[in-house]
Structure 1
Amino acid sequence: MEYQGTRRIQASPDEVFAFVSDVRNLPRYLPTTKRAEPQGEERVAVEGEANGHQYQADGHFHQDAQNHRLEWGSDGEISYSGTLEVMPDGDGSQVSVKLRFEPDPQRAPNQDMPGQAPSDNQIQEGIDKALESIQNFVEGRGGKEEPSAAT
């Protein structure tokens, strides 16, 4: 399953990429994420809370500064990966995010499982809120936006 989102941001690609590629900023824009720490070369550990459940996850986090591209993926029970690309768009930037989830045989397609797995709509809302949060911080007009399903 793949999900994606795009948002135009009024800032240079270098400025946007500098913000999103700093691991310390992940909690500022990733929904439900409360803490993120680098764990050596291209590794990251994150902690947060979603749907009333605490989580901790480790994964890879690759930065390609020349192409303004991030790639990441999980090591845990839920297998997912993603990319974020920042491209020039006139006098600003366009940020595109793609998330991919490996099918879970225990989860029926489009089935809500509160406290276990987010629905397709919740995942898409999370992408949209992450992009809105990036825009808020980089443009200096607000803070982190959490999806309604985060609480």
Structure 2
Amino acid sequence: MGEFTGRIRIDRPAAEVFAFLSDPTAMPRYLQTVNRVEQRGPGRIAMEGEAHGHAYHDEGWIKLEPEARRMRWGSDRMKDYGGEMEVQEADGGAEVSIRLSITPDPAVAKQMEQESGAVDHAMRLAMERTLGAIKAACEGVDAAPDAPRSADDLPDSRPFGSSATLNPDI
């Protein structure tokens, strides 16, 4: 099982960043492979998306720890997959840390090696993309303006949308 970590500084208050990240339906805004997330009851979610050219549907668990600004998750289908995201105060803004544990399916690992040279390198790139997309969504800007992206890939113009705050003007 591979362990991957990353962190990024965000120029928004930590409470607002956690409010955004702790809403599972916001995941498609920062997880490139996720198209849709649906809550299936307390602590349960279902996700649909496409990864490495294959559509997927997965269900799993999610645990929010608002007092620690921490979120943990795992998959029902992939028993060796799980992660944790934590948001901390940092110099007038926030720092988001992610820890991911995963062993890719052998066919996916082979494709990752072909595309990126090594599974670890592919996972580091994916982590960087995810952290950049979180920053872009929270700050309301494109994380990599020179990267080729379609209009559908850009973050919403409002950094948190209506799900993270009751103030629609944010």
Give the TM-score of the pair, scaled to structure 1.
Answer: 0.83
Compare the two structures and name the one with the higher helix fraction. Answer: 2
Gaps of 5+ in 2: 113-117, 149-170
Question: Equivalent residues in 2 for 1:66-105 (5 A)?
Answer: 66-77=67-78, 79-101=80-102, 103=103
Aligned residues: CA RMSD:
2.7
- Equivalent position SS for 1:114: helix
Larger radius of gyration: 2
| Aligned match of 1:39 | 40
Work out the number of aligned pairs and report it: 141
Give the TM-score of the pair, scaled to structure 2.
Answer: 0.74
Measure, in 1, the Cα distance between the counterparts of 2:68 and 2:16. 13
- Moved segments of 4+, more than 3 Å: none
Higher relative contact order (CA 8 A, sep 6+): 1
Q: CA 1:69 to 1:6, structure 2 compared with 1: closer, same or farther past 3 Å?
A: same
| Aligned match of 1:126 | 126
| Aligned match of 2:137 | 137
| Aligned match of 1:114 | 111
On the 8 A contact 1:88/1:94 being kept in 2, the answer is: yes
TM-superposed CA distance for 1:143, in Å, is: 7.3
Gaps of 5+ in 1: none
Of all paired residues, the percent bearing the same amino acid is: 34
- Equivalent position SS for 2:67: coil
Measure, in 1, the Cα distance between the counterparts of 2:144 and 2:130. 8
Question: Equivalent residues in 2 for 1:5-24 (5 A)?
Answer: 5-24=6-25
Measure, in 2, the Cα distance between the counterparts of 1:27 and 1:144. 17
TM-superposed CA distance for 1:114, in Å, is: 2.0
Q: CA 1:72 to 1:144, structure 2 compared with 1: closer, same or farther past 3 Å?
A: farther
- Equivalent position SS for 2:124: helix
Measure, in 1, the Cα distance between the counterparts of 2:61 and 2:138. 24
Measure, in 1, the Cα distance between the counterparts of 2:144 and 2:87. 19
Compare the two structures and name the one with the higher strand fraction. Answer: 1
| Aligned match of 2:54 | 53
On the 8 A contact 1:30/1:130 being kept in 2, the answer is: yes
